[in-house]
Amino acid sequence: MFDLTGKTALVTGSSQGIGKAIATLLAKQGAKVFVHASSSLEKAQRAASEMVGDTVCVVGNLANPDEVEGLYKQTGDVDILVCNASVQYRNPWDNVTPEEIETQLQVNFKATYRLIQLYVPKMKEKGFGRIITVGSVQQYKPHKDMPIYAASKCAVMSLVENLGKQFAPFGITVNNMSPGVIATPRNADALADAEYSKKVMAGIPMGYAGEDKDCAPAVLLLASEEGRYITGIDLVVDGGMKL
């Protein structure tokens, strides 16, 4: 079960954190995985060196639309597209700058849409494709200092439902995996603050933050042949935080 031999996969933002855990598991299950970093090939290579299986390292800053096109040129077509990379700014709503709005929408939403546009034609031709976007529990419980980030994730969920329906006749599934609070480099500083951390954990029914490896099996299911009848859903991996 969950054998990905013969499949190719791109996991954006797989140089660390959740993306790295996803890439690690997809490679272990037999896929050839493109490990992606925003700008440092060395960083992608460091991550890939810890993975078992077939990996190829690529770079591209998704804040730059030209580099989104460049990423497709580096990988060629893939069977499994995991749009995991995101940018997140913490700022009270009335301080959010136009630049912060643009970068978050570009990386989290526009680049995701463009990557789907680039990779889907071949998936349609092959009659097989798996698109998995990485959302957030903030789709349901938005943090007051991350309004644009939360909105960008809701916008992607709308794409998942819209495109999931359109691509279903072609053997292409489109799903979202929404993590709750997962201990990664992104939130290491915030969670190191004991008082803040205590408040956050109080909002998680399971009482603790997840690990990156908690998210990867959910993506594997959605990427696999076994997940072929699942499309247009949000698979929430959050220790009950959404409830």
In angstroms, the CA 209 to CA 190 distance is 12
Active-site residue 149, yes or no?
yes
Determine the residue type at 66.
D
How near is the Cβ of 170 to ligand NAP at its closest, in Å?
Answer: 26
Q: Which two tokens stand for residue 60?
A: 């591209």
Give the residue, chosen from 4, 10, 11, 18, that forms a contact with ligand NAP under the rule CB under 6 A.
18
Asked if 150 touches ligand NAP (CB under 6 A), the answer is no
Beta strands in the chain (DSSP E): 8-11, 32-37, 54-59, 80-83, 129-134, 172-179, 182-183, 210-211, 234-237
How near is the Cβ of 134 to ligand NAP at its closest, in Å?
Answer: 4
Size (the chain), residues: 243
Whether residue 217 contacts residue 25, with contact meaning beta carbons closer than 8 Å, is answered with yes
Burial code (b: 16+ CB inside 10 Å, e: under 16) for 161-188 equals bebbeebeeeebbbbbbbbbbbbbeebe
Asked if 134 touches ligand NAP (CB under 6 A), the answer is yes
Q: Which residue has the tokens 């490896």?
A: 213
Identify residues 182-211 at the interface with ligand NAP (CB under 6 A): 182, 184-187
Give the residue, chosen from 7, 10, 19, 174, that forms a contact with ligand NAP under the rule CB under 6 A.
19
Give the residue, chosen from 107, 146, 157, 160, that forms a contact with ligand NAP under the rule CB under 6 A.
107
**Cβ nearer to ligand NAP, comparing 120 with 134:** 134
Asked if 63 touches ligand NAP (CB under 6 A), the answer is yes
| Distance spanning both ends of the chain, measured CA to CA | 31
Selecting among 72, 119, 140, 149, the annotated active-site residue is 149
Pick the stretch among 56-64, 116-124, 192-200, 222-230 that binds ligand NAP (CB under 6 A): 56-64
Closest CA to 38 of 54, 8, 7, 16: 16
Task: Give the catalytic positions in this structure.
Answer: 149
Site of interaction with ligand NAP (CB under 6 A): 13, 15-19, 37-38, 40, 43, 61-63, 84-88, 107, 134, 136, 179, 181-182, 184-187
